[in-house]
A = this chain, B = another copy of it.
């Protein structure tokens, strides 16, 4: 795999971070660096090298469907506790590729209109088109995470949703979308430090919300909700990946590796011309 071959990865990120049968979230250390044998400095270098690779893959992915007939797209789903680094992933991993090939959707608290529909309604509208790299900053998984912890829906409805999600995602993968679901796994200690920093720095106050502390107090309930989600919705078609996130540099590198390996697997090709190249060249030359 690409990410591995040019960097200090000792295993494929797609393998080592994958949630399989019997997975236990409480056995994953948030400050580990699974599959990566390098230091933070190595990580910075590998991230920079990976950006160029990702940018080229993205362009080929886009070209294959815009100049050709490929239907492939990628959908990166990011879920995490507050301050785990979703924003940093968007900025430092996704931000390195051409914005024209990225479709970013941030899902906040649902509006009245959204609440009046099934929970998948608003998500369906933001599914990436062929050739695009879609990114969900939060997603339909909120509806079985905060939805469960804060009892926004009853137990029967939450139960129904696991199945609905699996069916929904299977349908997306059948349409050509590779779904990469990432839980950024931060420790409560690290979160405490990061939230404190937001309170200590006036230029970070706008990122702080008193509700963040309320959610923090429900940590064990959230971990239980995540464990269930990971167990019930990690499928062959759309597996979950748990990325230890106490070290920002590792989390970014790992998500980049997941994207690179996924794109390498798609292996998008420059499409053949759909016009007569010689004839068009002659027609153009006549205007020069």
Contact = CB atoms under 8 A, between A and B. Distances in A.
Given A67-B207, A270-B206, A196 B91 contact: no
Interface residues of A, number: 48
Interface in A197-225: 199-200, 202-203, 205-210, 213, 216-217
A273 B188 CA distance: 24
Contacts of A100: 87, 90-91, 104, 106, 137
Given A67-B207, A210-B275, A192 B98 contact: no
Contacts of A199: 277, 280-281, 284
A147 interface: no
Interface in A236-283: 270-273, 275, 277, 280-281, 283
A213 B283 contact: yes
18 contacts: A63-B207, A67-B205, A68-B206, A91-B99, A91-B100, A95-B95, A95-B98, A99-B102, A189-B288, A192-B287, A195-B284, A199-B281, A202-B273, A205-B270, A205-B271, A206-B273, A209-B275, A216-B284
Contacts of A209: 275
Contacts of A277: 199, 205
A196 B106 contact: no
A66 interface: yes
A82 to B, nearest CB: 12
Interface string A169-208: 0000000000000000000110010011001101101111
A147 to B, nearest CB: 23
Nearest to A101: B91
A98 B207 CA distance: 15
Contacts of A73: none
Given A67-B207, A199-B280, A90 B99 contact: yes
A68 B106 CA distance: 19
